[in-house]
Structure formats: structure tokens, C-alpha cells
A and B are shown apart, each in its own frame.
Chain A
Amino acid sequence: MNVVTFSGPPSSGKTAVILKTIAALQQRKLQVGVVKFDCLYTDDDELYQKAGVPVKKGLSGSLCPDHYFVSNIEEVVQWGKKQKLDLLITESAGLCNRCSPYIKDIKAICVIDNLSGINTPKKIGPMLKTADIVVITKGDIVSQAEREVFASRVSTVNPDALVMNVNGLTGQGAFEFSTLLYDKADNIETVTGKKLRFSMPSAMCSYCLGETQIGEEHQLGNVRKIELGDD
């Protein structure tokens, strides 16, 4: 089975792109399943179900969804194998700009949209910087110039990535993108023993652990102070 991880900011078009891509993969008679990782809520699983795609979801609750992802990915891979999938896709809500769920030797895709603003590529950190392929969506609503500027920013942040435009609504570009996703040679049995591409900051401060009192003496662990200057 092949495994591909998708990540990207909320509402960037991950599900839309994955669904259009699966439609193209099914033409090649490939069995594709999806596991969606999110924080508190998602109804993506219903969308996949409607499209007849085997799907599971995992909600991380108060944890960073990417931390939750690593702790569960092996079980998810085994689920995919039991379903006899050719390709297992994981979709992660890119809610934590400090982390990314990408694993070495597992294809990593970042979905980002033209509407999110030209500083977004810089802001979202490891999720974009360490991806193999960057898919840019919503090109249908912005001007040609804005698309060009946006793509060039993406390439500056991640010069090694393949950058593609896919339209989540019309599916334009999805067939082409799908040709990059499955290769028999990339089959794996397990992800145990593999490594994350980017070590996840623990991001734990005393407030993560339940502290509610405000004040210097209550701030433990990973604490950063704002720089306000003297003026």
C-alpha cells in the first residue's frame, strides 16, 4: 500500500482536491481510502463517505493534531491494509504552524490557497517548507498576477517542491496531480521505524497543563515573552 500525507491551512481545499484526485485514481482501478485528522470537529468524513471512499476520522481534542497524528499513524496504516487499499491518504488540518505531520520517505503534500494572502507561505512553516509537492487552489477567483506572485512566494519558501495548481471545484489539474501519487515501488507495510521530517516542538507551557493563574510566577516550561521596547 502507498501512503500519502496531505496537510494545509483550514479550508484551503484539501478535501476538495483529494476528492477530485481520488476520482482520477479510481479510473486507474486503484482502491483509495482516507483518514482525516482534526482538532475538535470535522464533517469531512461525510463528504468522503458520500463519494464512496472508505474513511475514518480522528479528533485530537486539546492536543496539537500533528502530535496526535504521529501517535496514531501506525494504527491507521494497519487499518488501511485491512481495507486492502492501494493508496491511503491522510488529511490533516494544518492548525499548528509549528508542526507538520510529514514522515521521511512518505510523500508529503501541502495544499494552500491563493486567497490566504501572500504572507501565508512564510507563516505556515514546516507544513510548507518540508513538503514534496505544493498544491495551490482557488486560482479561479484571483487575478493572474496574484497567482504568479503567490506561486513565486511558495517557491521561495520551498525551492525544492513541485508546485502545481489544482482547482478544487472544477478539478482542473487533478488528473495531472493524481499521476504523481501512486507508484507500486513506493508500497510499504508499516511506518514503524520511520522518522518525522521535522521534530515537533513540545510547545508545552504551564497553561497547556491546566494552569489558569496569570502572572510571572505561574509561567513554567516553554515561555516566550513579547518584545514591547521602551517607547
Chain B
Amino acid sequence: MFNQTELKNKKISEIIAEYPYTENFFKEQKLVLNDQEKNLKEIFQNLSLEAREDVVFDLEQFTASLLSYIENMQEFLGETDSVVKTLSILAGKDKSGYPENYKQLNIKSGEIISIVGPTGSGKSRLLADIEWTAQGDTPTERKILINDQIPDKKWRFTGGKKLVAQLSQNMNFVMDLSVKEFLHLHAESRLVEQEDALVDRIFEEANQLAGEKFAAEAQITSLSGGQSRALMIADTAILSSSPIILIDEIENAGINREKALELLVGEEKIVLMATHDPVLALMGDKRIIINNGGIADIITTTAEEKKLRRELQILDKLLGDLREDLRYGKKLGQISQQLTAIKLIN
């Protein structure tokens, strides 16, 4: 790797040839490059006062910054140590100071864990502990291990790679871009190879998840709630650098939730899902019960519950079909004698 002195004396074209992504750095730093055959020393010597103000840094600071950028990017690209095979949560204490009711929870990649508990019970804190790779240094005193080891501090601070990606109901797209432009922008920031193929795949997967299809040319801000959610999930599954995904409820409208979860775990992500919907919660391998700031229990989904989930899916489908019929102006009929025979309390 070039050192700082070399960076000052290499031609811009040489730096870009060695580290192609630095082109982006020069652009974002607003350094005007009229002649790529000059080196940084020469360029800085000839900068006008105004151009200097635009760049902010002097030659020394600029090359130091460039060096840090190259180091960050090399690490980002070369990472093999950031594969998360297991995430372990070691017990801390609840809000009253009592130890949590478990010793250690190990979650493997490809697993879905549901998180349940009343609002304000500590779900966000649990997530924050994971995101911060807590080492007894948060209010719960929990500890987080990755692949059975104390995690690298880089998970806490880098702009490039975060441990946890989040999907929640109130998230929207805010950029003025088409679906395709948007996916390309994200892919570029990740420096992925075979960008076109990847973008196509995300687009297809998203359309599989969405109840109503959408075009690659559609503006992302004009997508329906279900379509947005579908695109966000497909994009996060395939393109997000984060190995752990937190989902805060997926509303049951305009999106195939089961397929969405299958897509996520299929990409070897760990999925943590806060939900109060039994159809979703029972998709989890386990569920964490949170109360008073602590983990009160961890329940493994039983065979009986899996059977129940089948039944709930049927009910879910029935209701979904009725909604659909309603929307298209059809008359609704009774479902079956069996169902009407069920006595409703009240």
C-alpha cells in the first residue's frame, strides 16, 4: 500500500489505477482534477485560494485523509472476519437490578428469533446492546459475543459496515430516484462486483414479495406501502452489509411476509423480529420474552405451536382473500358452517 509521502508524489492517474474507488474520494472532497497526470503536491501548489477553501484540507491533511480512506476501503473489501456465524447474548440484569432469567443465548446465522413484550419493556435496549456489541458497559450489563469471541471495536464506529440493519413500519424512501437508479446507487456504495446482475436480482425478488408488481423505472417515492416494504426487504437481504437484521413488525398488507423472511434467512442473516402477530412470531425458532428491561424467558417454538401456525396461516389467508374481494367490489359469502359454529365470547 502507498504511504503518505508516496501519495503526495504519485500521479492522480496512478493512484486511481491502484485504488479505483479513490476517484469517488476526490469527487466527494471537491478537489478539481483538470489534469490527472499531475501529482497531489503539484495540484495543491497551484490551488487558488478559493479552491483551497473548498477542499478545506492542506496537502498534509488531505493525504492523511486519503490514506485513512484507502485503509478503510481495503478493510471493507477484504473482510472475511466479518462473517457472523453465531451471535451470543450473555445475561445481564433487568431494570430492578435482578439477574436475567437465562445464562447465554446463542443465535446462528439463518435463524429467526422473535422478540415479544409490552411497549417500553426493553426491546430497544436489547437491540442497542447488540448493535453496540456491549461488554458490560451498558445499563443492562449484558455482553455480546460474535463467533464466541469479544467483537472487534470496529462494529461500533465505522460508517461503512454496521452490525445491525433495521427495517420498520415508519421507514420511507426519501430520495428522488427510480427503483433502478436507487439500487445502483446502493450497490455502488458497497463496491460490489457484477452490479447489474445483482440489481436485477433484487428487483425480481422484490417483485416476488410485493402483492402488486412495480416497474424498474417507477420512482421509489411513488411505491405503495407494500411495494416499498418489499423493495426494502429484498435490498436489505441481498445488498446490506449488515449480518443481523432487526424487523419491527411487518404489516400484513401488500407483501408476502413469509417469503420475505425466507429471503432474509436464505442470505444467511440473523433475523430478530419484534412482533405481536402470532403468525409472524411463530415463524421464529425461538422467542425472547422481555419484561422490565430484562429477558424474562426464552421459549423454543413447540411442534404444537408450529401446527397452530398452519391454522393461523389459513385464517390469515381467508381474511386476506376477503379484503381482496371487498376491494374489487365482490359480494362476500359465509366461509363455512364450521367457523360460524365457533362461539365468540362477547
Contact = CB atoms under 8 A, between A and B. Distances in A.
Nearest to B158: A163
A148 interface: yes
Contacts of B137: 179
A162 interface: yes
Contacts of A130: 56
Interface stretch (B102-110, B166-174, B280-288, B318-326): B166-174
B5 interface: no
B34 to A, nearest CB: 14
Contacts of A129: 56-57, 65
A155 B239 CA distance: 18
Interface stretch (A39-47, A62-70, A134-142, A205-213): A134-142
B72 interface: yes
Interface in B52-98: 53-54, 56-57, 64-66, 68-69, 71-72
A138 to B, nearest CB: 9
Given A143-B173, A160-B65, A172-B128, A149 B160 contact: no
Contacts of A27: 139
A121 interface: yes
A118 B132 CA distance: 25
A176 B128 contact: yes
Given A141-B172, A144-B167, A164-B157, A152 B189 contact: yes
Contact of A172 (B64, B65, B68, B124): B124
B156 A142 contact: no
B165 interface: yes
Q: Determine the interface band of chain A, counting residues with CB < 8 A from chain B.
A: 35 or more
B30 interface: yes
B53 A201 contact: yes
Contact of A146 (B72, B156, B160, B174): B174
A126 B56 contact: yes
Nearest to B183: A145
Looking at B54, B66, B71, B124, the one whose CB has the most chain A CB atoms below 10 A away is: B124
Interface in A70-120: 98, 114-115, 117-118
B44 interface: no
B302 interface: no
A175 interface: yes
Contact of A170 (B64, B124, B241): B124
A152 B72 CA distance: 11
A180 B13 CA distance: 39
B158 A155 contact: yes
A121 B171 contact: no
A157 B66 CA distance: 10
B69 A144 contact: no
A125 interface: yes
Contacts of B173: 142-143, 146
B156 A144 contact: no
B2 interface: no
A154 interface: yes
Contact of A144 (B124, B175, B236): B236
B159 interface: yes
Given A151-B160, A176-B156, A146 B175 contact: yes
B138 interface: yes
Interface in A175-197: 175-176, 179
A154 B182 contact: no
Contacts of A122: 28, 30
B52 to A, nearest CB: 10
B240 A144 contact: yes
A5 B214 CA distance: 46
Contacts of B156: 162, 164, 176
B232 interface: yes
A91 B172 CA distance: 29
Nearest to B246: A144
B241 A141 contact: no
B157 to A, nearest CB: 4
The 10 closest A-B pairs by CB, nearest first: A155-B159, A163-B159, A159-B68, A159-B69, A162-B157, A151-B159, A152-B189, A145-B186, A156-B28, A149-B189
15 contacts: A125-B54, A126-B56, A129-B56, A141-B174, A144-B240, A145-B232, A146-B174, A149-B186, A153-B28, A156-B28, A159-B65, A162-B157, A163-B158, A163-B159, A175-B138
Given A129-B57, A148-B189, 17 more contacts: A125-B54, A126-B56, A129-B65, A140-B171, A142-B171, A145-B232, A145-B240, A148-B186, A151-B159, A155-B158, A159-B68, A163-B157, A164-B157, A175-B138, A176-B156, A201-B53, A224-B50
